[in-house]
Amino acid sequence: MNLFTKFEAGLPLAQFLKYGTDAHRARWQAAAAQTVLTGPQQELVRTFTRRTNVLLLAGAWCGDCSSQCPIFERIAEINPNVVVRYIDRDEHADAQAALQINGGNRVPVAVFFSEDGHEVARYGERTLARYRALVAQLTGEGCATGFVKGDDPVQKAVVQEWLDQLERVQCILRLSPRLRAKHGD
């Protein structure tokens, strides 16, 4: 499967959220309002020189998606070289099947592409910080609610871990002989 065609068919966040209910959209908006990049994180994002296309397989109903996907929106607001598109996991069952994690359907899953549609990396569902917090709890809800607190240290770590993934992709793209030849750098 050529996942870049899914990116090309993907939606900006506002259109994607039409898949959700008013309550789902409110949860995404609340999480977005609490999603903040620190000064050093913003400076790092401003250094990204290669266009990076990010496909997010998500569900508007999903708590993990509502708490993590706004991170990409913040990054894209700071640097237009980061282009984010969403596809609904239920509507794009073929993409969901191609992006399973541990044999199961999971969201969100990010697929990072170069400017010309080559897949660079995949990362998904939850970051290490979130998994560590869940392992420490070992009880409670089976699915995160998506409610984000601005001072939550785990959420701050999640922001950093997603940013680390994007920085890794940028480094791959900056060092790519193909792209260096194309851009003369």
The tokens for 167 are 């920085």
Query: Do residues 47 and 173 make contact, with C-beta atoms less than 8 angstroms apart?
Result: no
* Residue among 29, 9, 34 nearest 17 (CA): 29
> pLDDT at residue 68 above 70?
yes
pLDDT at 181 over 70: yes
In this prediction, residue 30 has a pLDDT band, given cuts at 50, 70 and 90, of very high
Q: pLDDT value at position 32?
A: 97
User: At residue 146, does pLDDT exceed 90?
Assistant: no
> Hey, what amino acid is at 145?
T
Q: Which of 150, 135, 171 is nearest to 38 (CA)?
A: 150
Tokens found for residue 34: 């609490």
The whole-number pLDDT of residue 138 equals 80
The CATH number of residue 175's host domain is 3.40.30.10
CA distances from 103 to 31, 97, 106, 138, 159 (A): 29, 9, 9, 22, 26
What is the total residue count of the chain?
Answer: 185
Half-sphere exposure of 21 (CA within 13 A, CB side): 4
Residue 150, token pair as written in the block:
């601005």
Range of the domain at 129: 3-183
Q: Residue 75 in contact with residue 37, Cβ under 8 Å?
A: yes
72 contacts: CB under 8 Å, gap ≥ 6: 54, 56, 82, 84, 110, 162
Q: Give the HSE-up count for residue 4: Cα atoms under 13 Å, Cβ half-sphere.
A: 11
Q: Which residue has the higher pLDDT, 178 or 137?
A: 178
| Number of domains making up the chain | 1
Instruction: Please write the tens of the pLDDT for every residue from 75-114.
Output: 999 999 999 999 999 999 999 999 999 999 999 999 999 9
- State pLDDT tens for residues 112-125: 999 999 999 999 99
**Structure pTM?**
0.91
Amino acid at 22: D
